[in-house]
Amino acid sequence: MSDRTPAPKKLYIKTYGCQMNVYDSERMAEALGGKGYVETKSPEDADMILLNTCHIREKAAEKVYSELGRMKALKDEKPDLKFGVTGCVAQAEGEEIMRRQPMVDLVVGPQSYHRLPAMDEAVQAGKKALDTDFPDDDKFETLTKRSKAKRGPTAFLTVQEGCDKFCAFCVVPYTRGAEVSRPADRIIREANELVESGVREITLLGQNVNAYHGHDGGLAGLIWDLDKVDGLERIRFTTSHPNDMDDALIDAHGTCSKLMPYLHLPVQAGSDRILKAMNRKHTAESYIRLIERIRGARPDLLLSGDFIVGFPGETDQDFEDTMSLICEVHYGQAYSFKYSTRPGTPAAEKPQLPEDVMNERLQRLQSLLREQQVETQESMVGREVSVLFEKAGREAGQMIGKSEYLHAVFAEAPMDVIGQVRKVRITRSESNSLGGILTDAP
């Protein structure tokens, strides 16, 4: 007798952009798992391809259309193959995607992923499915529980979505909608499920994670509840807004041993005039004082940031103010971008700076940030750090993991260190990682 169990359908998800999209892709795969899909790493094998898109970079939508154009050959070879576009470009472009690329069967915005199984049914019946609503039902509640499959030692966990800050350059409040926080008990439940699957470090995600209000004690209250989860060894969170760093969260950096000494706290610019035009609602001075307070609580904290150069109206002096702020604060790590227009945002209406001016400023800013990163890495040489090992390194016998400061660290070690936090003495600094030797006995 033949085996009547249908072969599982294969799902290929290509993820662009931020960690929140990485998390969303996992949840989408889990939701479609209930419809008989298993993930594949190869688009050629897939029965359904989802592009989980990001709208933060320049010409994001055009890049998605080009990618779809390149993938059209797969559809020609396999006419039953289904295509979906998800994420922030799906939210921003909506129906236009199906108009410009008729092979797309499904378009779904970030707030409606829990509706994917129903949308898949429609698609399998030969219909088109579009959902870019901001629905009232809680998508996280409707999404299935986290899969019990064995996981790597680190995981993302979305606790908050959307943003009410409306920085003049940013598309997030339009694509991800208003700020919404998940209830703390559901997050704790999900954290326990992750730990049962082998996770040792959780990074709490939110567009504005420190505005989290699903716990009476805010993000700090949630962190203290997670501190009690047995088996969870490390907690991180990203991305934060300076105006939402409250006293309890600053204090947790000094007192909660599971909260890692790393903070990504974007300032964007060092000129008050530009910060005002950006609608950031903080000044350079208030940011610097805030960093002093956080470092007062946790002196070894490694600070990371985001910078935009060439915001409309930025003068040479404004740019020099950003350079001075960087010198004063000193960043261990940072992300920097040339300003680029996002249609629909207030800054898009303003006259843009010449490209060569922006390029020159970005180059200077990045070389300063790079110097600070190298200095920070070199200051680790000779120190002992704690490394959560994640996987095998490129060279035989080498394992790789992250220090408490989020540096990638490699060392010779046996395979079974994966999932363990071990002491490593740093012996060298390379371009984006540190090398060292294990110093603790197994």
Are 281 and 243 a contacting pair, CB within 8 Å? Answer: yes
The interface mask with ligand SAM, positions 265-284, x = CB under 6 A, is -x-x----------------
Cα distances from 60 to residues 17, 29, 88, 340, in angstroms, run: 10, 23, 9, 11
Per CB under 6 A, which of residues 55..84 are in contact with ligand SAM? 56
Please tell me the distance from the alpha carbon of residue 420 to that of residue 140, in angstroms, as a whole number. 30
Residues 6+ apart with CB under 8 A from 73: none
In the DSSP assignment, the letter for residue 395 is: S
- Comparison of 40 and 238: residue with beta carbon closer to ligand SF4: 238
Pairing assessment for the beta strands 421-429 and 384-392 based on DSSP bridges? antiparallel
CA distance 397 to 410: 10
Measured CA to CA, the distance from residue 392 to residue 414 in angstroms comes to: 9
Compose the 185-214 pattern: x for residues touching ligand SF4 by CB under 6 A, - for all others.
Answer: ----------------------xx------
Of 286, 289, 290, 291, which Cα lies nearest the Cα of 275?
Answer: 286
Is residue 90 within the footprint of ligand SF4 (CB under 6 A)?
Answer: no
Task: Work out what residue 29 binds among ligand SF4, ligand SAM, none; the CB cut-off runs from 5 to 8 Å by kind.
Answer: none
Q: How far is the CB of 87 from ligand SF4 (least distance, A)?
A: 15
The alpha-helical segments, DSSP class H, found in 79-148 are 88-93, 96-100, 116-124, 139-142
Closer to ligand SAM by Cβ: residue 56 or 288: 56
User: DSSP letters along 258-300, please?
Assistant: TB-SEEE---B-S-HHHHHHTT----HHHHHHHHHHHHHH-TT
> Half-sphere exposure (CA, 13 Å, Cβ side) for 352?
12
Told to check if 159 binds ligand SF4 by CB under 6 A, we report no
Nearer to ligand SAM, 167 or 184 (CB): 167
Selected range binding ligand SF4 among 42-50, 111-119, 161-169, 356-364, rule: CB under 6 A: 161-169
Which of 71, 116, 163, 424 is the binder for ligand SF4 (CB under 6 A)? 163
Tell me which of ligand SF4, ligand SAM, none is bound by residue 342, counting a contact when its beta carbon lies within the kind-specific cut-off of 5 to 8 angstroms: ligand SAM
Mask for 218-257, x = binds ligand SF4 (CB under 6 A): -----------------------x----------------
Name which of ligand SAM, ligand SF4, none residue 225 binds, using a CB cut-off of 5 to 8 Å depending on partner kind. none
Residue whose C-alpha is closest to residue 223's, from 196, 241, 246, 197: 246
Which residues are 293's β-sheet partners? Answer: none
Binding mask 263-282 for ligand SF4 (x = CB under 6 A): --------------------
Closest CB to ligand SAM among residues 65, 307: 307
Q: Which is nearer to ligand SAM, 58 or 371 (CB)?
A: 58
In the complex, the residues that contact ligand SAM under the rule CB under 6 A are: 18, 56, 169-170, 172, 207-208, 239, 241, 266, 268, 306, 308, 337, 339-340, 342
